[in-house]
Structure 1
Amino acid sequence: MTTATTRLRASAPAKINLFLHITGRRADGYHLLESLFCPIGLCDEVEIELSPSPDGLLIEREGPLAALPEHIDLTARAVRAFFAALGEPSNWRVMLKVTKRIPEQAGLGGGSSDAATVLKLLQAHFGNPLNDQMLADLALALGADVPFFLNGMPAFVEGIGEEITPLQVPALWLLVYKPPQSCPTAKIFSDSELTRNATSVKMAVFDSRRSVEGELWNWLNSHTRNAMQAVVEKLLPEWKQQFAVFSQTCRTVGSPLVRMSGSGSAMFAVFESQDSATLAKQAAAAQTGVLSGQLFVCQIMSSG
């Protein structure tokens, strides 16, 4: 066995949901969704150090995720799932380090992206031993958002997160705001007022005419929403106030779309240029009496 130490590193992008509808619920309790996921240029950094281990698979962790129990940390679970799928002895010491830039409990998919990045790094390093379906199955077992991050480009997502169809989305700019509040995802999904019978918009999403930017934003505003936002506004009145101020500020600068992402609490506004997004950030930062969270200017990543 080689004694060399190998270091792997990659960026793990956050995501936004341009819309998020719940279309049903399976007998096992999992919600069925339709959503337009877009990776964005707000990224964690994932590092893996591999070296031989005489005692089988040994996982060590550095950074903020090291405080989590291993069975909760998705990056550690991704390592164990990958080596288990190989079906052979795994005599490796794996040191994980994640530099966090994506806010947690924000609906931006940071933990899912970190886990997917671990899978991709290990898959590439060991010569792609798992076929695409095996890798997708591993990802889905870790979490509903993890399979999306294996692809790294905008996609229409269905089912419980496993049905992924890449789409072309303009590489526009965003202002992302993470307010001080965090959203209890499980509580939101279990709320009796969560709409779970949305009409499918799949055919409309794939209408090629929506590729014209103006029509896309008009259609999204008119026909879609984030189904979870109303529940968040009910549970967290202070979040509702933050969203109202953020939305008004960004629309004044010219944003055609302002939404909550995922299950929250982060929200975003779309802009045609970096200058407009930066101007909106300055305007939002001036709202010191209300907006006291984190602001990020970044771009939609339009391809892998």
Structure 2
Amino acid sequence: MEDQVTPAGPGEGRLVLAATPIGDPGDASLRLREHLAGADVVAAEDTRRLHRLCAALGVSTGGRVLSYHEHNEAARTPQLVQEVAAGSTVLLVTDAGMPSVSDPGYRLVRACADAGLLVTALPGPSAALTALALSGLPSDRFAFEGFPPRRPGQRERALRELAAEERTLIFFESPHRTAATLSAMAAAFGAGRPAAVCRELTKTYEEVVRAPLGELADWAGAREVRGEVCLVVAGAEPGAGALGEAELVERVLERVGAGERLKDAVREVAKAHGATSRELYDAAAAAQRAARG
């Protein structure tokens, strides 16, 4: 049976996920202001940023303020579940945007849902959707990929697996890794793939740069990228992933030449392009034998 959300009765506890401004405090909703003042418990990713937000909004938290971040969420989740079960309204806020979207929150939502407790949300700002809307790229179908892997090898493999994805892709990235990630995207998706770098959205120095990935990689490499960054990349053209066997074998052998084992290279290429691993392995092995003479 699926989880059901029903209105809370008098004295019934609830977990409220509250979206907070991604830059401009003026984007805070009236409901967010009311809940900050009225919640029994406010669980915040960074309590100092919460207090700065409250000061900017001219409100004071009426209940207890607790920290809830990636380093303590496992230990603190049972405590917050008990608060909701006892009838408290627990307001969860992160540094910016909606809790649980690349931020703490999923663990607590799942625990409350499993306990049969009410979970609701105060909708509001979203960096991912704001970037998508500003990118000028197709927005009818999209996939949010969060932060790419930090290690270059893992990042390159993850991007290669997305090369044939036809939906528009949205990523978060730290400013000091933006240039390297754009270069890796240009290599995996093609330097001509349309994309956009969306930086410091809703803030004083908001910037949206729209260009092919190769140009964006050069742009980022020539300057110090600062602030919060979202990368939006156009999806692959329909049928772009339908490569022939010779092209698939070529990609496998390129990866083998870069140091990967044949078995691993076949698995990754087959997964990215919907090919059959066994047949691709046989073809690549035969190509290797032919190359050796």
Q: TM-score range by the shorter chain?
A: under 0.3
Q: Whose Rg is larger?
A: 2
Using structure 2 for the length normalisation, give the TM-score: 0.27
Between Structure 1 and Structure 2, the one with more helix by share is: 2
Q: Which has the higher contact order (CA 8 A, sep 6+)?
A: 1
